[in-house]
Homo-oligomer: A and B are copies of this chain.
Amino acid sequence: MPLYHAPVKDSQFVLQAVVGLDKYANLPGFAEATPDMVAAILEAGGKFCEEVLAPLNLPGDIEGCTRHDDGSVSTPAGFKAAYDQFVEGGWGTLMAEPEWGGQGLPYVVGTAVQEYLSSANMAFAMYPGLSEGAQSAIAAVGSAEQQARWLPPMVQGRWTGTMNLTEPHCGTDLGLIRTRAVRNEDGSYAITGTKIFISAGEHDLAENIVHLVLAKTEGAPDTVKGISLFIVPKFLVNDDGSLGARNGVSCGSIEHKMGIHANSTCVMNYDGATGYMIGEEMKGLRAMFIMMNAARLGVGVQGLSQGEVAYQNAVAYARDRRQGRSLTGAKSPDDKADPIIVHPDVRRMLMDGRAFNEGARALILWGALQVDLSRKAATPEARELADDLIGLLTPVIKGYLTDKGYDIATTSQQVFGGHGYIREWGMEQFVRDARIAQIYEGTNGIQALDLVGRKLALNGGRGLRAWLALIQEALDGTTDPQLDTLKAGLTRALGDVQAATMWLMQNGLSNPDNAGAASTAYMHLMGITALGHMWLVMARASVEALAAGADDAAFYETKLITARYYAERYLPDTTALRKKLEAGSATMMAMPADAF
C-alpha cells in the first residue's frame, strides 16, 4: 500500500516565504487566517487525507465505479463514508462565502488543502472539486434567488455539482454543440441532448446533483455565440428546498478509462429535462469560463499532487531497497548491499521530483494568492495587477504543471524498477491518474494556444510585462553569492522568455501558424522560468532564515540544495525550447496532410 504524508511544513514555508500571508491581514477573510488557524487547518486537513482518503486510493482504483441497470452509480467501498466525514469536517466549505454557509477563508489556504486531498485520492477529490467549480459559476452569474436556492446545500456538501460541456462530436470546439433548450411556459427550459466525459455525473455520495449544462436556445446562432448555461438538477427542488421528482436526466453509461477509476465519468442523457437558465441568454460560454479558470488552477494542483505522492513513495522505496554498492565504496558494509538512494542516478530521479514539486507548490499558492488579490485587494490597481498575473499564468499552471507532474509520476515509478509496474505497489496508478490532467479542462495544447494567442497580448501585453518585471526585481535584489548559480540560470531563462516573446511578436502576427507552432514550447519555457522565479524567492528566504539563525537550519539548507539542483538541471532547457520555437511552422506545415 503506498504511503502519503501531507507536506504541511512545506506548505507553511511557502505561505510565509512566497505568499507572505501575514501582509494581507487587512483583506476580507485574511484576518481570520491567522498563523495558528492556518496551521490548525493544514494539520487537520493533512491528517484527514493521510488517514481517511489515502487508504481508499488503491482499493478505489481496483474496484472502480459501478453503474447499475437503473442508471444509478455506486462509488467504491468506503467512499460514501469518507465523503460524509469530508462534509462533517467542513473540508468543502473552506473557501465558500459565509453568506452560503462557507468559512470564507482565503483561496490560497483552501488551495493548500486541495493539494493534500488530490495527492491522497485524486478520484475522490474530484467529486467536491467539481462541485466547487459549479458553485463558483452560480455565485458569479446566478440570480439572488438561484444563489439562495442552490448554493447552501452545495456548500454544505449535501448536493454536488458538475460541468457539462463536451458532446460526442465536440470537445474543444464548443460552437458545435447540439444540446437544445426549449423554453417552457413557466420560464424554465426543456433540455435535450447528450453530454459525454461528465466527471462525477452520477454517484451515490450526495442527495442531489446539480448539473451545469451548455445548450443552445431556439433561434440562437449555431455557434459559440448561441450558447446558454442551465442548471439542471438530478432531482427537482420544491419551493421549501426539499427534493421533488426525478428530472429527465440520467447516466447512460460510464467510461472505462486509463485512470481515476473511482471517479465516475458519465455519458449523461438529457431527455427534455427541466433546466433553469443561469446568467444571460447566449452568454453561457462566459459563465462557463468562470468555472473553467478556477478548474484549470485545480487541475494544475492535480499535476503537482501526483508528482508529490509518487515522489514520496519513491523516496521511501529508495531508502529501503538494497541493490548494489555505492560507486564510491560500500555505505552499508554490514549489509549485502547498499540502499539504492546511494546511487546518483536514483538521486537524480528523486531530485527531479523534489525540485519540481516544491517549485510547483510555490507557483500554485502564489497563483492562488493572485486569485484572492484579484477579488479582494484594497486598490483597483492591485486587483488589476493580480488579475493580469493569474490570467497570464493560468494556462502555464494548468499546462506545464500537469505535463511535468505526469513526468515526475513516471520518473518516480521508475525508481521502483519492476515493482513500479505492478498494481499493488500503487505507483502505476499515480501515472495513470496524472495522465488525465494533461487532457481535461482544455488539453494542454489548448492551454498553450490560450497563452500565446490570447493571454500574451491581452491589454497590450500588460500581464507579461508585469510578470517579467517581478522576476527582474527578484533578480536585482539577489546578491548573496550562494545564489549565483540560480541567479545566472534564471537570468538566462528570463532572456530566453524575452527573446521568444520578441520572436512571437515578429513572426506570430504575420503568420498565426508560427504562433501555433511555438505555443507548447513557449508554455514550457514560461513554466520552467516561473518555477525558477519561485525557487529564487524561496532560496532568498532560506538564506535570510539561516542568517537569522533559524531553528531548523537543516530545512533551509535542503531548500538551498534543491534550488541549486533546479538551476543546474531544469533551467538549461529554456534555451533549447527557445531554439525549437524559433524554428517556426514552415517545416511542419510543409507536410501534405495525406503524407503523414
A contact residues vs B (CB 8 Å cutoff): 166, 169-173, 175-176, 196-197, 255-259, 315, 318-319, 322-324, 327-328, 336-337, 339, 341-351, 354, 406, 410, 413-414, 417-418, 420-424, 428, 431-432, 435-436, 438-440, 443-445, 448-449, 453, 511-517, 519-520, 554, 558, 561-562, 564-565, 568-569, 572-573, 575-576, 579-580, 583, 585, 587-596
Contacts and interface: CB of A to CB of B under 8 A. Distances in A.
Please give the count of copies of this chain that the complex contains: 2
Nearest to A562: B591
Contacts of A565: 587-588
A572 B337 CA distance: 39
What are the 8 A-B residue pairs with the smallest beta carbon separation, nearest first? Answer: A344-B516, A568-B583, A327-B512, A258-B428, A173-B323, A344-B517, A256-B423, A572-B579
A576 B587 contact: no
Contact of A513 (B169, B255, B328): B328
A516 B421 contact: no
Contacts of A166: 418
Contacts of A417: 171-172, 439, 443
Contact of A423 (B257, B346, B410): B257
Nearest to A517: B344
Contacts of A257: 421-423, 428
Given A561-B591, A572-B580, A172 B519 contact: no
B414 A337 contact: no
A438 to B, nearest CB: 7
Contacts of A351: 587-588, 591
Contacts of A343: 445, 516
B350 A596 contact: yes
Contact of A341 (B348, B439, B517, B593): B593
Given A166-B418, A561-B587, A575-B575, 9 more contacts: A258-B423, A258-B432, A327-B516, A344-B519, A349-B445, A414-B443, A418-B440, A572-B580, A576-B576
A579 B198 CA distance: 45
A173 B337 contact: yes
21 contacts: A166-B418, A172-B417, A176-B336, A255-B423, A256-B424, A259-B421, A319-B596, A327-B516, A339-B593, A343-B516, A344-B519, A345-B448, A351-B587, A406-B410, A410-B435, A414-B438, A417-B443, A421-B435, A554-B595, A561-B587, A575-B576
A322 B175 CA distance: 12
A383 to B, nearest CB: 33
A339 B169 CA distance: 12
A256 to B, nearest CB: 4
